[in-house]
Chains A and B, each alone.
Chain A
């Protein structure tokens, strides 16, 4: 039962992030690229303000899987690195915390693009 509630929370909060994105697409002239950038920067700001962590504790993957979670991870990494290394941490923290996601996207992206053939644009 507890696990079911975990899934439900992830579904609802993650879904809400996406619904907000869809509202932005439908009612503003924001392009998908701008929305992704806004989400990441919003995640950094919300993480810096301490608002995002409670949401991650509550919704788990519902808060970490949307791109705001990527921004939150950046801010969290910087905070930890500044704590340990001072000003140098401001430079190393973000990329260190998000290295797995970025490297995965680059490497898997590269391999996929090599293997598969470009499709017909629908």
Chain B
């Protein structure tokens, strides 16, 4: 079968299930909103226990990461993600999921180059670009005496 790239794209379009944006976008909004509300509830809880705002926010993030890792291990997070789409990707729980899911999947390839390496398959680029951008920002601050 001779196929041009264009033909292939059309076939691909036909074969892929239609994403219904009038469903996916509100779902992402609601699920993402709920995750952030849980985050806010944790912040309030920790502040009620006597933590400062900043510390409470950090501990809340750590708690969300823990919950997400646990739910990913129990295969619950992926099921939420089927409904939530970007609502489960964009919050920090999505970052944790992106660490745990490949680590778990590639465990069979060994503890070092399987689990240990593959856990950074998505988190790696996120850290690389985030940290580099922040370092550039720091150099700009120094160069132009902005602080």
Contact = CB atoms under 8 A, between A and B. Distances in A.
Interface of A: 3, 6-7, 10-27, 32-33, 35-37, 39-41, 43-45, 48, 60-62, 64-67, 69-71, 74-75, 77-79, 81-83, 86-87, 89-91, 93-95, 98, 100-102, 104-106, 108-116, 118-119, 121-122
A61 B37 contact: yes
Contacts of A79: 137-138, 141, 147
Contacts, number: 284
Given A78-B137, A104-B66, A113 B43 contact: no
Contacts of B130: 37, 40-41, 43-44, 70-71, 74, 94, 98
Contact of B25 (A13, A22, A35, A64): A22
A40 B126 CA distance: 7
5 contacts: A21-B89, A36-B125, A37-B129, A78-B141, A104-B66
